[in-house]
Amino acid sequence: MSARAEKRNSAKTNERARGRVLLITDDSQTPFVEAITARGMTVVGVANGAAAMVSLQRSRPHLVVANPAARNLRIRELARMLAQSDDGIPLVLAGSQPATVEIRHAALLEGAFDYFELPLEFDLLIERTQQLVALRQKIDQLKSDADLDALTGLANRRRFRVALAREVERWRRYRMPCSLLMLDIDHLKRINDQFGHPAGDAVIRQIAQTLKEVSRDNDTAARLGGEEFALLLAGVDVQKAAVAAERLRAVLSSRRVDEVGTVTVSIGVASCPESATSERTLYSASDRALYVSKNSGRDRVSIAPPLQEKLPGV
């Protein structure tokens, strides 16, 4: 791995280790950002109500803190989406209204974890933020231990299926596209037979490491089993996915594995809604595109056609 890639990976790891908070308010000059940073956490965005859903999808915070008076913010809808997400992100409300029992009770009914009056309860808000972020990180760690492939550290098939359902649901609700890249290592059986299974495992781990390097925080890189991998790209349409797939193929084919040499992959690309509108059809479309790549000579990218068309030879 290059020094630049290692530095980028290290930065990603450090950012994920820090608590991530998304702030939804019309006031971008809030002292909340400075206070949270001083506690070792990161404010991953300050968004207004209209941009809340997009910011949430991009930043994947551990906690959302929202001012109920923010323009175009629908608290109940936001709380429901957070509760139904795979991450189960908690929501805390903070505003200028007095923190009466009635106001706090109303916040709980809306789906929030609590309500704080500002600036009177600012210190309490910071303490509650740190507490909920720490709890969310602990839950994430426990889930991660159960959802990771043991050999590569990538998401396993179960976690991938959950992520796929989540991204397709985001398209249904908010018309945000997503794309799926299916990858298959070319001639892995031949590598195992010639160099031994430890060498084959080294190939698998290098493919996985590259997928980690190119993935954004809101993408999902997974090993589905054997030599098959998947990369789920959130908010990416078919044109951008095709470019990303070709770039990924080129990077993988340029890297050498000790005692093996260069290794290539075949890739199939499908996108929602261009070539599919459900989890099952998106998976099937990318799998069929992968089949075309493997049967057309390997070491290439094939794009699933629009819904009304069919792939040649399938």
Residue with tokens 């059809």: 281
Q: Which residues pair with 184 in a beta bridge?
A: 228, 266
Out of 110, 227, 274, 279, pick the active-site residue.
227
| Nearest CA-CA partner of 181 in 151, 142, 146, 224 | 224
Distance CA 16, CA 148 (A): 16
- The pairs formed by 144-153 with CB atoms below 8 angstroms and a separation of 24 or more are 149/208, 149/222, 149/223, 151/201, 151/204, 151/205, 151/208, 151/223, 152/204, 152/205, 152/207, 152/208, 152/223, 153/208, 153/212
Please say if 227 is a catalytic residue: yes
Distance CA 230, CA 304 (A): 15
Considering Cα of 154, then 159, then 161, then 163, what sign does the dihedral take? negative
Active site residues: 227
